[in-house]
Amino acid sequence: MTELNGAETRVSSWRLLALNPVTLLSALVLLTVAVVAVCANWIAPYGVNDVDVPNALQAPGATHWFGTDELGRDVLARVLLAIQASIRIAVISVAFAVVVGVTVGVVAGYFAGHKGGWLDTVLMRVIDVMFAFPVLLLALAIVAVLGPGVSTTILAIGIVYTPIFARVARASTLSVRTETYVAASRAGGTGDLYILRRHILPNISGPLIVQTSLSLAFAILSEAALSFLGLGIQPPEPSLGRMIFDSQGFVTMAWWMAVFPGAAIFVIVLGFNLFGDGLRDVLDPKQRSAIEARRREP
């Protein structure tokens, strides 16, 4: 019966997501972005670093849909490859933050106030110290120490978003661990590791899924900011942030050099944020009940 109710809940969740036009549109945008990230090398119309100086600063047209930059390179090809790089960095860095942050948060929340309570104190004080620094400032400090590049950008973004997942996981764990089924499992002699894996993690997945979607959006922005400052992806590999930086001297004569990379960042970040809002409405019981109540109203 429990499995049946769980299946019905999942079906209802998908139905509510599909009935929300904004969430559905954002999902289609993100699906398109995912296809571009996977297939960018094949769909790019020109080589990403093909220099054609005689056709430099060419306006958007039939030959170059997004125009060309100061070296005659196709802006569309560079935007596509830059999206691929941004998505790759965002996904890997957020995955790192999820694994480390959720592990820290769940362990700290499960043992808070009980045996091993000192572990909660130590872990969360470290998280509080990390939280005291602005995200971009901490990322800049990490990259400045380790040196610019893709690997250090991934590590920096992953580290600065770890505290967010740790706090979300700890808060959710503190709520779930007091449930009767957890107490019954513990009274039956079940080990802590089994309880964490079987009862805690599945029941805190909702807030973590929402936070993952939102963190992907901020990771895209963080990567673009680091690349804009010259500390992220290094030339000749294209980056949306670096393309905007390079366009500063040509804004009045070649607006497309800044507009298209900026538009790509805007669309991707907006898509993740709107999709995260839709997931929150569905996965949060209070929000979900309110939505279902409004739909039942005549």
pLDDT tens-place string over residues 39-94: 999 999 898 888 888 888 999 998 999 999 999 999 999 999 999 999 999 999 99
Whether 28 and 36 have beta carbons less than 8 Å apart is answered as no
Q: What is the dihedral of CA 134, 138, 144, 149, to 10 degrees?
A: -100
pLDDT tens-place string over residues 252-294: 889 999 999 999 999 999 999 999 888 877 776 555 555 455 5
pLDDT tens-place string over residues 5-30: 444 444 455 666 667 788 889 999 99
Residue 114 has a pLDDT of 63
Q: What is the residue type of 159?
A: I
Strand ranges, E, within the chain? none
Between 297 and 32, where is the model more confident?
32
- 40: closest CA among 79, 90, 92? 79
The residue-averaged pLDDT of 105-128 equals 80
CB-hemisphere CA count at 13 Å for 198? 10
Give me the phi and psi of 181, to 5 degrees please.
-70, -30
CA-CA distance, 255 to 243, in Å (whole number)?
A: 12
Residue 74 pairs in a beta bridge with: 68
Give me the phi and psi of 119, to 5 degrees please.
-65, -40
Those residues whose C-beta lies under 8 Å from the C-beta of residue 163, and which sit 6 or more positions away, are: 101, 127, 130, 131
Q: How many C-beta neighbours within 10 Å does residue 163 have?
A: 25
pLDDT tens-place string over residues 170-223: 988 888 887 777 778 777 777 778 788 888 888 888 889 889 999 999 999 999
* Cis previous bond, 148, omega within 30: no
